[in-house]
Amino acid sequence: MRVVIAMMKHETNTFSPVVTDWARFTGWGSFLGDEARAHYEGTAMPFGAYLELAKARGCEIVTPVAAEAMPSGPVQREAYETMAGAIVDAVKDGCDAALLDLHGAMVAEHDFDGEGLLLERIRAVAPDLPIAVTCDLHCNLTARMVDNCTALIGYKTYPHVDMHEVGEQIGRVLFDTLDGKVRPVMRWGNLPLLSQTLRQGTDDEPMKTLIAMCRGAERRPGVLAATVFGGFALADMPQSGTSVVIVTDNDPALAAEIRDEILEAAWTRRADFVYEHHPLEEAVAEAKAMEYDGPVILLDHADNVGSGATQDVMTVIAEVLNQGLEDVAVAAVYDPQAVQEMQRAGIGSTVTLSLGGRTDMPSIGREGAPLEITGKVKTLTDGEWVCRGPMYTGVTVRMGPTAVLDTGRMQIVIVSRHHEPWDTGVFTSVGIQPEHKKYLLLKSRIHYRAGFAPLAKATLTLDGVGVTTSDNRLLDYQHVRRPIYPLDLINER
């Protein structure tokens, strides 16, 4: 049996000014051909799970591409065609099945629905090919995606610590299909609800209940997979929204029944998917007043590169410095130029930098605003380390040349490639012991929990500035369907 296994992942923030070209994918760690298998075999990714299943069955394995980039603006056509073209060409060469590790919120510059376009192209050259798909919890599910695959599933955790598990689950469904043991059918639905990612943590309500409903459904006879997608509201595309897909063994009525139950539960809780803002100054003052023997986590969520931000907005850092918080570690500020200046100065040197603020954000009407800051060059590294926590386990992180600036009260990790801090390695790789800091200021939303939740004595969200803002009033939506909640008040759907 010959199987094609591929990864093509990007969460597109259409409000982000960060360019998504092929170099952005290769900078994260994207590979073609045999290199794809070599770099992701043994990792806790769906790609890794697919490889294990296929290897155990003695399949001939073809890995045309394993590509992922940190969230950013729309994917350029050339980058998209590099990935999609490699996958479609591998299918054209002949195979018995395809197992795809996708995201579900990829917007290309030439098509809003990057995953749907890929699957449509595969179906055009292989109409009867069994295709299994994993998607991120933030997938904006579309009809093109469902109509052009055999079985589709999404992560049930945010932070995403079950990627291998769901890959194995849907991979087994596909191989059972090939063996004639099951006949998958899918029913899906999409709500006019722009759920905010800051309100999608699966340990929190309302997602906790919806995930429990999915897990309960999967225990029912005949149900092969049940998924609720929170969606990604920062992708301004017609299909953005909360969705549900159910896979059953040749029982469309059961799939539709479960789908409708979960969609109704989500819609009833729609107000709970909207974040309530608080003044930045008050939140920092609250943090300063806290007395804990251990880290208080401060979330600069509006500048979270894991949702497509620039990672160089200094608003929150400036306020924390202004209010005099002590013993703070920051991860991370994106500023390759500052890293170069610190490299030239050398470890132990005192430098004054115009840090961050190098990227304008026209979608929210903000220009970059650097912060002049003085400190000692504490550490210089190449920025490479391996995730050892529960998320992206075994994957090598490449932050690019990296430096630590020590102001006395604050140690700032400065990187040359974007990276969201979901693993403590972002600190330990540069000599910082996060568990011994009073404050950890993280440019993250929810993924930080994977590595840092066990350390946190308290957590505060700090409402700063950036293109991952949770304030819908700042975003000029042009393409989402209308009416849609919460941009519009809808009483019935």
Question: Closest Cα partner for 67 from 101, 93, 99, 43?
Answer: 101
Q: What is the mean pLDDT of the chain?
A: 97
* Percentage, residues of the chain above pLDDT 70: 99
**Model confidence pLDDT, tens digit, residues 126-184:** 999 999 999 999 999 999 999 999 999 999 999 999 999 999 999 999 999 999 999 99
**Model confidence pLDDT, tens digit, residues 180-228:** 999 999 999 999 999 999 999 999 999 999 999 999 999 999 999 999 9
Q: Is the peptide bond before 159 cis (omega within 30 degrees of 0)?
A: yes
Mind listing the domains of the chain with CATH numbers? Answer: 2-273 (3.40.50.2300), 280-469 (no CATH)
Give the pLDDT band of residue 104 (cuts 50, 70, 90): very high
Residue 58, pLDDT > 90, answer yes
Span between the terminal Cα atoms of the chain, in Å: 46
Residue 490, pLDDT > 80, answer no
Over range 309-317, report the average pLDDT. 98
**Model confidence pLDDT, tens digit, residues 258-309:** 999 999 999 999 999 999 999 999 999 999 999 998 899 999 999 999 999 9
**Model confidence pLDDT, tens digit, residues 383-436:** 999 999 999 999 999 999 999 999 999 999 999 999 999 999 999 999 999 999
Q: What is the pLDDT of residue 412?
A: 98
Residue 491, pLDDT > 80, answer no
Q: What is the pLDDT of residue 492?
A: 65
Q: What is the pLDDT of residue 438?
A: 97
Q: Beta strand pairing status for 402-406 and 371-381?
A: antiparallel
Task: Report the predicted TM-score, pTM, of the whole model to 2 decimal places.
Answer: 0.96
State the CB neighbour count (10 A cutoff) for residue 208: 12
Give the pLDDT band of residue 314 (cuts 50, 70, 90): very high
Residue 64, pLDDT > 70, answer yes
**Cα–Cα distances in Å, from 217 out to 40, 151, 223, 252, 268?**
31, 16, 7, 14, 19
